[in-house]
Amino acid sequence: MKVLKFGGTSVGTVESLLNVKSIVEGIDAPAVVVVSALGGLTDKLIATANMAAEADPAYRDEMEAISSRHFHIISNVVPEDKRPEVIKEVSLLLNELKRIYDGLSLIKDLPAKTLDVIVSFGERMSSVIVAAMIDGAERRDSLNFIKTEKWFDKNIADQKLTTQLVIEEFQTPFNKAIVPGFIATDKDSGEITTLGRGGSDFTGALIAAAMEAEVLEIWTDVDGFMTADPRIIPEAKVVPHMTFIESMELCTFGAKVIYPPTIYPVFHKNIPIKILNTFNPTAPGTLVTDTRLESDFPMKGVSSLRNTTIFSLRATPGSDIAEVQTRTFNAVAKQGIKLFIVTIVPERNNEFSFMVSDNDAEIAMDLIKSEFAPELSKRSIETPLMRNSLTTIAVVGEDMKNKKRLAERIRHSLHRDGIKVEATSTGASDTTITFIVSPERTERALQIIHSLVF
Ligand code: ASP
Ligand code: MG
């Protein structure tokens, strides 16, 4: 059995939906097909919610536009005999959505829970349309089997419960099962939640892992993983194959191909991922598996992640820096903040740096200050330095020979171009070298590194 996931651009227009139809109808075995909301709709639903909550009457026009977009698609892709039923179902959803927006405009507030309910309408509607469009398809509702639990102020997938429920759900035979991506319900309250922006990929992965699918196909609007973002590097090329680890590193550091959490569940079950293009369905795409191939490129890509904050901590010479590190990481991790890349300069063994996302920076600073309050007042640790809004550039490849030397060469070339590298890390993983640079120099740095490496 295969699991296919079609992203927003793939289900965003009549033309692209007709491609989806022919791709799915061409599979002569049972398949689970996960769909995103119509391209751009999730952003639109959020923007409209904000308007409504500010009592800006323009939300009504936006709501109208959302409705007509769906009706236009329905009348062009759904076979005539099924159209009245689909129009009825989608109208019910649109009416409910409109009532929620009207409610927001009265209470002038937008609780996070309500926003989750609002965005869920995107996938609920697209899945109804796709299920009616595809011959022999039926809809299976992920609100019944994708479950989340609370983790600090976030909702995260409860993979164990989800696995059980998915197995039960798909015990009843199906030909093509169309599933809304992204949306879930809280395992305790039953309230609607989501898997986070870009989360439809993750829905696909959870189902593929639970069902031990033969492959997870991610259908998108590019030919696969590229050696760099082609909008910045026109000569970037498609990477035919890479390992799970490499794909994980590239996505963690900004490649927009797959939502990073997607990779873990399928990696764990050793289910290959294929990245394919709905608009160029015969292109080979990128295959992601657990082993390197003889034919692999030695390097797989250069990606960048904006909005990085770097923290530097310095203790008095001779202090136990390992202990300072452990306490720092524990203090930060306890609040659920993800900390990535740690750099230690060997010659300066009383200091270290680490990175977090800009969004987490303030909280991380408070946590560190309270953890080290006694040391800070005694001045055995200096006030942590924090710099926001930097870019992390990652160079990824499991076959990287002599990482230290490559890092040196890259630093050198960047330096020659007047680009200051704020920090480098070669130790964080075997697969990746990272460089922290200022945001204005990101594109130039990517160009220099890409031409050096590829
Ligand atoms: N529609 C959701 C989003 O735009 C989920 C997804 O497309 O993966 O974030
Ligand atoms: Mg996506």
User: Per residue in 205-245, pLDDT tens?
Assistant: 999 999 999 999 999 999 999 999 999 999 999 999 999 99
Ligand nearest to the CA of 218: 2
Q: What is the CA(305)–ligand 2 centre distance, in A?
A: 16
From the CA of 36, give the closest atom in ligand 1: 7
Q: What angle do CA 19, 25, 31 make, to 5 degrees?
A: 110
Residue 403, both tokens: 């990482």
User: How far apart, in whole angstroms, are the C-alpha atoms of residue 78 and residue 143?
Assistant: 24
User: Does residue 343 register a pLDDT over 90?
Assistant: no
The reply to whether ligand 1 has any atom less than 6 angstroms from the CB of 122 is: yes
Q: What angle do CA 102, 103, 105 make, to 5 degrees?
A: 65
Amino acid 234: pLDDT: 96
> What average pLDDT score do residues 29-56 get?
98
Amino acid 173: pLDDT: 95
User: Does residue 339 register a pLDDT over 90?
Assistant: no
Is the C-alpha dihedral spanning 325, 331, 334, 339 positive or negative?
A: negative
Q: What is the CA(259)–ligand 2 centre distance, in A?
A: 6
User: How far apart, in whole angstroms, are the C-alpha atoms of residue 432 and residue 397?
Assistant: 6
* 442 contacts: CB under 8 Å, gap ≥ 6: 304, 306, 391, 393
To test the pocket of ligand 1, the residue of 35, 200, 219 to mutate (highest count of ligand atoms within 8 Å of its CB) is 200
Asked if 266 and 208 touch (Cβ cutoff 8 Å), the reply is yes
The reply to whether ligand 1 has any atom less than 6 angstroms from the CB of 8 is: yes
Binning pLDDT at 50, 70 and 90, where does residue 127 land? very high
* 22 contacts: CB under 8 Å, gap ≥ 6: none
Amino acid 428: pLDDT: 62
User: How far apart, in whole angstroms, are the C-alpha atoms of residue 25 and residue 240?
Assistant: 26
Binning pLDDT at 50, 70 and 90, where does residue 427 land? low
User: How far apart, in whole angstroms, are the C-alpha atoms of residue 246 and residue 2?
Assistant: 23
Ligand nearest to the CA of 41: 1
Q: What residues does 277 pair with on adjacent strands?
A: 220
Neighbours of 332 (CB within 10 A): 22
Protein residues with C-beta less than 5 angstroms from the ion ligand 2:
7, 198
Amino acid 142: pLDDT: 98
Amino acid 228: pLDDT: 97
User: Does residue 422 register a pLDDT over 80?
Assistant: yes
Is the C-alpha dihedral spanning 259, 45, 5, 182 positive or negative?
A: positive
Amino acid 404: pLDDT: 86
Mean pLDDT of the chain: 95
The reply to whether ligand 1 has any atom less than 6 angstroms from the CB of 181 is: yes
Q: What is the pLDDT of residues 238-271, one digit of tens each?
A: 999 999 999 999 999 999 999 999 999 999 999 9
Q: Which amino acid is at 134?
A: I
Binning pLDDT at 50, 70 and 90, where does residue 425 land? confident
More confident residue, 40 or 350: 40
> What average pLDDT score do residues 97-123 get?
98
Placement of tokens 């939300």 in the chain: 59
User: How far apart, in whole angstroms, are the C-alpha atoms of residue 380 and residue 371?
Assistant: 13
The reply to whether ligand 1 has any atom less than 6 angstroms from the CB of 260 is: no
Phi/psi of residue 48, each to 5°? -65, -35
Which residue, among 213, 156, 219, has the nearest Cα to 184 in the 3D structure?
A: 156
Ligand nearest to the CA of 42: 1
Ligand nearest to the CA of 39: 1
Share of the chain above pLDDT 70, in %: 99
From the CA of 182, give the closest atom in ligand 1: 5
Q: What residues does 343 pair with on adjacent strands?
A: 353
Residue 321, both tokens: 């820096």
In three-state secondary structure terms, 187 is coil
Placement of tokens 């199906």 in the chain: 174
To test the pocket of ligand 1, the residue of 5, 16, 36, 116 to mutate (highest count of ligand atoms within 8 Å of its CB) is 36
Q: What is the pLDDT of residues 64-82, one digit of tens each?
A: 999 999 999 999 999 999 9
Q: What is the CA(200)–ligand 2 centre distance, in A?
A: 7
Residue with CA at minimum distance from ligand 1 atom 6: 198
Residue 396 host element (H or E)? strand 385-396
DSSP-derived secondary structure letter, 420:
P
Residue 326, both tokens: 């452990």
Placement of tokens 């062009």 in the chain: 76
Q: What is the CA(263)–ligand 2 centre distance, in A?
A: 13
The reply to whether ligand 1 has any atom less than 6 angstroms from the CB of 37 is: yes
**How far from each other are the two terminal CA atoms of the chain, in whole angstroms?**
37
- Lowest-pLDDT range, 69-78, 340-349, 391-400? 340-349
Q: What angle do CA 51, 53, 54 make, to 5 degrees?
A: 65
Residue 287, both tokens: 């295959």
